[in-house]
Amino acid sequence: MGLNDFSNIDRVLEELALKDEYRFNAYQVASLSNEIDVDSVNEYLLYKTHPKFGILEAKIETICPENHPDKHFDFGEALPDGEVECRICDESYTLNPYNSHIVFYFKDKYKKEVKKKALKSSKKLLVPI
């Protein structure tokens, strides 16, 4: 199943960028855009990481045994072997792809463009008719 209209997702991405959201995942975007197909939202967000025209960066975020979001690694690269220590609770754990998820970050250029567009729109509202 796929999405036919991405406008709600794009609108949510703009809102998150305006709010300087640091990181987010497909579940958050799906919820905010009222999309029920989280997998399709995730695929679209991954599409938005394209090196030539992408607005997002994807990372793998590991989750420690105490359920803390912890380390970040480049998406598409294998997780390193060995144990790591959680930055929050100091518990040691072995990195495992089943205890991780994909998170997204905005590229700085996109955030600047969105804020510039919003500023332009607000200035138009102030111009007398």
Q: Per residue in 83-117, pLDDT tens?
A: 999 999 999 999 988 999 999 999 999 999 999 98
With cut-offs at 50, 70 and 90, classify the pLDDT of residue 120.
confident
With cut-offs at 50, 70 and 90, classify the pLDDT of residue 4.
low
Kindly tell me if the per-residue pLDDT of 128 is higher than 70: no
How far apart CA 57 and CA 75 sit, in angstroms, is: 9
Judged by phi (left if over 0) then psi (alpha if -120 to 50, else beta), residue 86 lies in beta
pLDDT at 118: 83
CA atoms within 13 A on the CB side of 9: 24
**Cβ–Cβ under 8 Å, residues 104 and 125:** no
Tokens found for residue 39: 């997998």
Amino acid at 12: V
